[in-house]
Chain A
């Protein structure tokens, strides 16, 4: 009898506990976007010197950028998997990709799209309202305090202005591309039917992209070294605009 007295409450408890557990999300997978900074075929490591495709020495020291509204594209439309993240090479070990991981719906996809920067609402945020671990907080160092809004891309370092010069790169040749302002919120679109991929339910999937420094300078816009090494966007809007056009096209699917 005593067993029965114990058994009934135990059964009730089991039923209650099991009903409290959240059912696992059906039809989802763990999706990782991995961005590999490169310069040509070489992996990029901050504070190391490289020679770009045109023979200029370059030593990047900072590469940090926002991506917003990351979408998986399929034959039937798009699904947003991430509203905002800050990818910062200072936050990963040398040689490691810039990543974020989310739950994404399983399915067949043809590609991915995202915006480099922040949408106008995100860009109007007050950074003091966020905790330091938030991508929009003051701790990221991306907020422009003298002007409203955030720096969308911060690419800094040193480069030579004469091709094929012997190293090391001059420490006085500082370059500083800080892009921002709502008009320079730009979209990157990758993949097509020939690069379709499937995210299987319950499986981990990693989508690999390269981000090529060569393409930041030699893309649809050719950024000559003589055009200026510094832009805080409003200080040289033309240069910031060119850099933005190149930057969103500097992403490519990584070779399998």
Chain B
């Protein structure tokens, strides 16, 4: 990724010439972004109107951390998504403008380009559309999107980068595309588990290996839902968190009774960094989560049949924990390309 200051300088220097350029000439000022995918990761489907380029990604990063997105300019995307926490928040429910509390736990942000839909209820089908939600949500940024766009459009650097990146003035299209472009570059797949999987047999200690075997065992069936390279099948499940849920989950967007109290299965990558857990942040620690699954969960009629008492020994709990720790990608959370 090219340096942000370099981009800004480039934009300023070329401001006058850009305004007279044709779209093809504008494109020549930008370069494709080289997305480096970890071994074993499938190729990422990227929308044709938002292929990754260096300026698009850089613009998206600047917008991601710009508090001007919120109505009172106090909250940015980065206010609730911290890189050191795999771009999740450290509290159960994040705080929006004026101290307002949202509905659900802020999810971590990585490998988003592989998700078929977004939010715990899966109500939004694309990363580009997802950008609209926190900006307009009354408990998050509470900003009418056209007003947010109008404010950001006054930023001359954004205008110039929009022209270079998308060949158009800064508008809602640019805002949604650029942030999505940056978010697609948040790729995490270099944990100890990944290194082990790629041939470094010493990357996992013996406890983590036992934990991995348990995780994938028929008895626990964790991998029944937390499957694939991203440790999720993206399905909607009830894991027996409550007998009665105050939040109807996926039913909130489908109105279908069969979707009541079901939530999107989260990825377990970097899970040691993303406490608190569950859609409402109701578990403070990973041992709490393991205890929940060990108990078999609450008697909710929608509970997935695989959620049953596990009768785990202390050693098994410890091994499972060790395996979950091995999913941490330290390179991801310290990558300077993702920092403001």
Contacts and interface: CB of A to CB of B under 8 A. Distances in A.
Interface of A: 126-129, 132, 137-139, 141, 143, 145-148, 181, 233-235, 237
Nearest to A140: B146
25 contacts: A127-B172, A128-B129, A128-B172, A128-B173, A128-B175, A129-B173, A137-B172, A138-B132, A138-B145, A138-B146, A143-B132, A145-B124, A145-B136, A146-B119, A146-B253, A147-B123, A147-B252, A147-B253, A148-B123, A148-B124, A148-B129, A181-B255, A233-B255, A234-B252, A235-B252
B275 to A, nearest CB: 25
Interface of B: 119, 123-126, 128-129, 132-133, 135-137, 144-146, 149, 171-173, 175-177, 251-255
Contacts of B171: 128
Contacts of B123: 146-148
A154 to B, nearest CB: 15
Nearest to A183: B255
Contacts of B128: 126, 128
A148 B255 CA distance: 13
Q: Is the interface of B mostly helix, strand, loop or mixed?
A: helix
Contacts of A147: 123-124, 252-253
Given A145-B135, A235-B255, 9 more contacts: A128-B171, A128-B173, A138-B132, A138-B146, A138-B149, A146-B119, A233-B255, A234-B251, A234-B253
Contacts of B125: 148
Contacts of B176: 126, 128
Contacts of A132: 146
Contacts of A237: 255
Nearest to B149: A138
A234 B254 contact: yes
Given A126-B128, A146-B124, A147-B124, A139 B146 contact: yes
Given A128-B128, A234-B251, A146 B175 contact: no
- Smallest CB-CB A-B distances: 4 pairs: A128-B172, A234-B255, A145-B132, A237-B255
Contacts, number: 60
Contacts of A137: 146, 172
| SS class, residues of chain A in contact with chain B | loop
A234 to B, nearest CB: 4
Nearest to A181: B255
Contacts of B252: 147, 234-235
A128 B126 CA distance: 12
A92 B75 CA distance: 36
B145 A126 contact: no
A137 to B, nearest CB: 8
Nearest to B259: A234
A150 B27 CA distance: 33
Nearest to B103: A146
Central interface residue in A127, A143, A237, by most chain B CB within 10 Å: A127
Contacts of A139: 146
A111 to B, nearest CB: 33
A116 to B, nearest CB: 19
A233 to B, nearest CB: 7
Nearest to A143: B132
Nearest to B146: A139
A128 B178 CA distance: 12
A128 B132 contact: yes
A233 B125 CA distance: 18
A140 to B, nearest CB: 9
A163 to B, nearest CB: 31
Contacts of A146: 119, 123-124, 133, 137, 253
B108 to A, nearest CB: 20
Contact of B137 (A126, A141, A145): A145
A126 B126 contact: yes
B129 A126 contact: yes
A143 B137 CA distance: 12
A145 B139 CA distance: 13
A127 B171 CA distance: 12
Contacts of B133: 145-146
Contacts of B254: 234
Contacts of B136: 145
A47 B213 CA distance: 66
A173 to B, nearest CB: 20
A92 B144 CA distance: 22
A232 B119 CA distance: 18
Nearest to A144: B123
Contacts of A129: 173
B309 to A, nearest CB: 34
A33 to B, nearest CB: 27
A153 B215 CA distance: 48
A53 B137 CA distance: 37
A235 B149 CA distance: 29
Candidate in A127, A141, A234 with the most chain B CB atoms within 10 angstroms = A234
A181 B254 CA distance: 9
Contacts of B126: 126
Nearest to B129: A126
Nearest to B123: A147
Nearest to B130: A145
A139 B255 CA distance: 27
A127 B132 CA distance: 10
